[in-house]
Amino acid sequence: MKLAKLGAGPEIFHTIQGEGPGAGAPAVFIRASRCNLHCVWCDTDYTWNFQGTPWPHEKDAIPGYAKFPKADVTIELDPAEAARLVLAFGCPRVVITGGEPLLQEDGFLDMIGRIRGQMPDCYFEVETNATRIPSPAFAEAVDQFNVSPKLANAGMAEALRLVPDALRFFAASPNSWFKFVVSTPADLAEVQTLRARFHIPYERILLMPQGRSAAELDRTAPWLAELCRDLGFRFCDRLHIRLWGERRGV
Ligand code: SF4
């Protein structure tokens, strides 16, 4: 599997889940490298914004920001070794994130099987941008999908970021929770359109402020929370950003 590299090893770390219905729960995170999207505000840009790619990023405006040499930010690991590293934390909740984990679902399915062989009650969350339908075996193995379709504020053409068959699949899956990143009040109209088009239940939609710092979150969170209250959506903060900012591995 191609995983994000952190220091000399893979980005596998013990922390608390900062987003979604599992927010606050201790969890081991394992981060896939590679993504089929390129959101302009992505905070894990080191999983896809490689040298030689044409994609823009908001950070291009920051002096000194540069695309990443692929070899410096990627590490290959087989599923058995990934399972061994995850199991070493002894934590019964694992979050497979990215990047886009469904690009490497065979490897992660192998890893999940190995972990469950040692820890049968382990709970697996998978974070996905909802542009791929998981295989039946993978869908069966995962306890919870944290589905994050991208709105226009991510800076890509709709045909790239919205895959109707995949969105219908997740909307019909009771263990899928939809998390939309909101930047402005105008984003709500898009969320409502997607909710109606794909019949996503209100109770499985979370709205999360866009922001890579507590200050950025604070600009959006108050009005977004009020909109959630008034419209019937769940509000979702970014606890890990508030606790640790953009620090990796915590
Ligand atoms: S889908 Fe997720 S990982 Fe991929 S570019 Fe967008 S925010 Fe980043």
Instruction: Tell me, using a 6 A CB cutoff, whether residue 209 lines ligand 1.
Output: no
Residue 215 has pLDDT above 90, yes or no: yes
Residue 127 CA, closest ligand 1 atom number: 2
For the stretch 11-69, pLDDT in tens is: 999 999 999 999 999 999 999 999 999 999 999 999 999 999 999 999 999 999 999 99
Q: How far is the CA of 211 from the centre of ligand 1 (A)?
A: 14
Alpha-carbon torsion angle 111, 114, 120, 124, nearest 10: 0
Instruction: Please classify residue 66 by burial: count the beta carbons closer than 10 Å to its beta carbon, then call 0-12 exposed, 13-18 middle and 19+ buried.
Output: exposed
Record the tokens describing residue 136, joined without a space.
């039946």
Write down the pTM of the prediction: 0.95
Average pLDDT over the chain, rounded to whole? 96
Ligand 1 pocket test: pick from 11, 49, 100 the residue with the most ligand atoms within 8 Å of its Cβ.
100
Give the chain's length.
Answer: 250
Give, using CA atoms, the residue closest to atom 6 of ligand 1.
39
Q: Is 35 in the pocket of ligand 1 (CB under 6 A)?
A: yes
Nearest CA residue ID for atom 7, ligand 1: 42
Alpha helix stretches (DSSP H) within the chain: 70-73, 79-87, 105-118, 136-141, 158-161, 164-171, 187-198, 214-231, 239-244
Q: What is the CA(37)–ligand 1 centre distance, in A?
A: 6
* Token couple for 63: 């002096």
249 pLDDT higher than 90 = no
Q: Which residues, in sequence order, are CB contacts of 84 under 8 Å at separation 6+?
A: none
Pairing state of beta strands 93-97 and 123-128?
parallel
Give the pLDDT band of residue 122 (cuts 50, 70, 90).
very high
- Contact between 55 and 38 (Cβ < 8 Å): yes
Q: Pick the atom of ligand 1 nearest to 44's CA.
A: 8
Binned at pLDDT 50, 70 and 90, residue 123 comes out as very high
